[in-house]
Structure 1
Amino acid sequence: MARHQLNVKEKTWIVKHMYRLEYPINVQRLWSKEINNNPPDRKTIRSLMHKFEQTGSVLNIDPPGRPVSVIGQETKDEVSSILKEKPRTSLRQLSTDLNISMSSVRHIYKSLGFKPYIPRLIHELNEDDPDRRIEYCETFLSLLKDDSDLMYRVIWSDEAVFKLNGHINRHNSVYWATQNPNVTIDQAMQVEGLIVWAGIRYQDVIGPYFFETTVTSQSYIKMLDDYFYPLFCDVPDNESFSFMHDRAPAHYASIVRDWLDEKFPARWIGRRGALDWPARSPDLTPADFFLWGYLKDIVYQKKHRAQGGESGSPRSPIP
């Protein structure tokens, strides 16, 4: 038997007794005893309580804020024009400028085929960097032709900066377009924060290792000697592997290059290595175009507060 629509008096009765009896089933039993044998279901009672706690009333009150507006073709054309001319305009700004609700703005941009694209962060490039990058890629592709398994025998290493407050909040840098524009943001990468090292190969990750301070040639060689190499020695067939790192100043120190020449003779990639690594090329290594983004998405899911205590201790390999 379908229940009739609850009136204001009945709703008030339910709210009063819910605060006293706490559970919907107790209210249902009291309703059957005092009113009739057709009490409202538990979902209705919970919904009524949620509404009362949100609005302070059992009446059907319109939600606060700008009412949902009727969408006309003129409004659609105006939204389309703004997004094409200023594709970085936020939805909130559109809602304010056009005096329409946020839900109407969302409905319009979806009906027009616009999608929000998040810009990618890239290193700033110098004038001659593109030629060096192309030269490196052509050399590496040539090596792959001679040895198709080379990709499986490279340990790609890198350091990344983890900050408690992001240097650029890309989620607030939306670019609206009907097709992916591949928007990028040039960013100077020398910023302060917690410096983390990791090595990645086709099968697993070695690291992370946390540096206590700025990476220097001494702290870097200590990490290689005390942390990385003991783990690397456990990698099967390790004598066939190559080691890659970028052109960071600490990597170019003579003690580091001598160490690599000894441990990876003619098998390391970097500045003055067997294969020279082009400057400012994070998109050419899996650590940058996958690993750090994946890890930072996890780390930055929640806001973290800075804490005191020991830092810089090495950690066990990521499985």
Structure 2
Amino acid sequence: MDTGSLLPAAHHQNRPAHTVKNVEASLEAFISNPHISVHHAANLFELNKSTVNRTLQDHKFYQYKLQTCQKLFDEDRACRRQFAEDEIILIESDRDHLQNLFFSDEAHFHIYGGVNRQNYWYWNEENPSCYAEEPLYSPCVTVWAAIGEHGIIGPFFFEGNVNSGNYLQLLQNEFWPALHGLVHIDHARFMQDGTPPDWGRAVCEWLSENFGDRWMGRDLPSMPWPARSPDLTPIDFFFWGYVKSKVYTTPIRDLDELRERIVTAIKGITVKTRYKAILGYRQRLHRCLELDGEHVEITYAP
């Protein structure tokens, strides 16, 4: 029977007419303003929060977290399309490519920079006006790692700022020996995103000498990594976010504890989770083509 209502008939049988009307109005409010909260809608339309939640669930409304991303320019989209197309062809024609590809990047971890703010909610009759103080300057560490199907290399911590000199030392003294223990070195592939330390002349010469044309980086003729594309690499779209979600569960005392938590979090990444992250790279390449080079939006669930 057509009731002329947005709600399924089963959901407004035996309900007072004003309740049905208010439920419909609450749904229309979410359609017109996706940022409205359940609590606000319940108060506005004199409904229980459970009623509003159930209405949203019945109509397949889901809660999403707004994410920030780097602005893409027209030339970026063209480069991303071309890269995705070339990579897909390479992956499908050479099974060694993705199997032996290691994605690398560094990240900054602040002592006070990432406590899970879900733990900061308060239930009270009135706004308690409570604040969690954080210092203006938060001590931090810079950490580098690489992830591939065969394993994780790192983490390695930098003392002070990262530059092409200490980055090259890391590649030579830490990364290269570890890589030998995971894959046949003649088949190994390497990716870096092209930040200034990555692009030092000595760094590029060393990579070309040891990897030949089997490494990705900024403006390379053979495998140019597209600018502003952290959404395509597992080290960024999965790895560092996953590690930070484990590191910042509770407040951190000092840098030593911060380093320990980073090491523990990385050791806790399972083989299955790592495989899913690498598989996500291939999926995102296809998605990038579908979106004509735009930012990729795929939810990754480890």
Deviations 1:132-183 (A, max 9, x none): 11111122223234313311011111122334334997999xxxxxxxxxxx
Q: Distance in 1 between matches of 2:31 and 2:153?
A: 45
Is 1:160 equivalent to 2:107 in the alignment?
Answer: yes
Offset, 1:118: 2.8
Offset, 1:254: 0.4
Deviations 1:199-255 (A, max 9, x none): 111121111222233322122112212221121122231221011100111111101
Offset, 1:308: 4.8
User: Is 258-267 or 285-294 further displaced after alignment?
Assistant: 285-294
Q: Which residue of 2 is the match for residue 146 of structure 1? A: 93
1:89 corresponds, among 36, 44, 56, to 36
- SS across alignment from 1:77: helix
Q: Distance in 2 between matches of 1:309 and 1:201?
A: 27
Give 5+ residue unaligned stretches, structure 2.
1-14, 121-138, 271-302
Is 1:204 equivalent to 2:159 in the alignment?
Answer: no
Offset, 1:125: 1.6
Q: Which residue of 1 is the match for residue 80 of structure 2? A: 133
Normalising by the residue count of structure 1, what TM-score does the alignment of the two structures yield?
Answer: 0.63
Q: Which residue of 1 is the match for residue 190 of structure 2? A: 243
Q: Distance in 2 between matches of 1:196 and 1:202?
A: 20
Q: Distance in 2 between matches of 1:255 and 1:312?
A: 29
**Counting helix residues as a fraction of each chain, which structure ranks higher?**
2
Q: Which residue of 2 is the match for residue 231 of structure 1? A: 178
Q: Distance in 1 between matches of 2:22 and 2:168?
A: 62
1:299 corresponds, among 243, 247, 250, to 247
Give 5+ residue unaligned stretches, structure 1.
1-68, 173-191
CA contact (8 A) 1:212 1:311 kept: no
- SS across alignment from 1:209: strand
Q: Distance in 2 between matches of 1:135 and 1:309?
A: 43
**TM alignment of 1:56-95, pairs within 5 A:** 72-95=19-42
**TM alignment of 1:169-208, pairs within 5 A:** 193-208=140-155
Count of paired positions: 232
Q: Which residue of 2 is the match for residue 282 of structure 1? A: 230
Q: Distance in 2 between matches of 1:167 and 1:213?
A: 23
C-alpha RMSD of the superposition: 3.4
Q: Which residue of 1 is the match for residue 300 of structure 2? A: none
Offset, 1:86: 0.8
CA contact (8 A) 1:133 1:278 kept: yes
Q: CA 1:272–1:110 in 2, change beyond 3 Å: closer, same or farther?
A: closer
Instruction: Report which structure shows greater RCO (CA 8 Å, sep ≥6).
Output: 2
Q: CA 1:91–1:150 in 2, change beyond 3 Å: closer, same or farther?
A: same
Offset, 1:124: 2.3
Amino-acid identity (%): 29
- SS across alignment from 1:205: strand
Q: Distance in 1 between matches of 2:187 and 2:66?
A: 38
